[in-house]
Amino acid sequence: MYILLIGAPGAGKGTQAKKLSQLLALRHIASGDLFHTAFEEQTELGLKAQRYVDLGELVPDEITIPMVMRHIEEPENIQGVILDGFPRTFEQSQALDAELSRIKRQVDLAIHLKVSREELLARLAGRIFCQANQHVYHIKFRPPKVADRCDLDGSKLYQRPDDAGEAMRRRLVIYFNQTVQLLDYYRQQHKLREVDGNSSIDQVQAILLSVINDSTGRVAKV
């Protein structure tokens, strides 16, 4: 089963995809996280991508598409994946369709996680990550037990540089001007489901599970 999570920066794609991947036993592939790992490891791809990410711009398709396709092709992903943050351009959607068709698969469901602009700004402004493993918290909505420390591994928490200032604004502009156009592509194929992502993490998760169950017949419970 191949499920896409489409939503603005801060919509909760990563938060929800992590939980869903455990409940549905599907791997979670997040293009933003792959870039982050590449920066940490100082790979050639990481060095090329970082200047775009720092500015809040999309990384060019010729870098992004092969990176994600390599992960989709991994044998452990043959049962399907939850894709978070990919595709974001028409070219990416075409590359994904071509690759899935090559392995006799297809996108089953594209879920649009809809969140108001006000809520997005609040989520981005308060988001903090742990240095060791990128566990995600929010100073108000999901605070760590000890301020500045990850509950799971004790490492220090930090704010992502592109969650503030011009880079954050640029990410929102690109999403609302460009990525939202993909919604029509999946709507025309009757694969799009709209989910209100404004409520609490647990409430959104319950809605997502019921949408996935209804649309695919796959049963997973919280």
86 binds, among ligand AP5, Mg ion, none (CB under 5 to 8 A by kind): ligand AP5
Q: Binding to ligand AP5 by residue 96, rule CB under 6 A?
A: no
**Residue selected from 7, 12, 14, 87 as contacting Mg ion according to rule CB under 5 A:** 14
**109-114/81-84 β-pairing:** unpaired
The residue count for binding ligand AP5 (CB under 6 A) is 34
Long-range contacts of 89-92 (CB under 8 A, 24+ apart): 89/58, 89/61, 89/178, 89/179, 89/182, 90/181, 90/182, 90/185, 91/61, 91/65, 92/61, 92/64, 92/65, 92/68
* Consecutive H or E run containing 109: strand 109-114
CB of 171 to Mg ion, least distance (A): 11
> Of 80, 84, 67, which Cα lies nearest the Cα of 29?
84
Q: Given the residues 19, 105, 123, 171, select the one marked as catalytic.
A: 171
**Residue selected from 123, 191, 193, 218 as contacting ligand AP5 according to rule CB under 6 A:** 123
Query: Which range, of 12-20, 126-134, 148-156, 214-222, touches Mg ion by CB under 5 A?
Result: 12-20
CB of 64 to ligand AP5, least distance (A): 4
Q: Binding to Mg ion by residue 10, rule CB under 5 A?
A: no
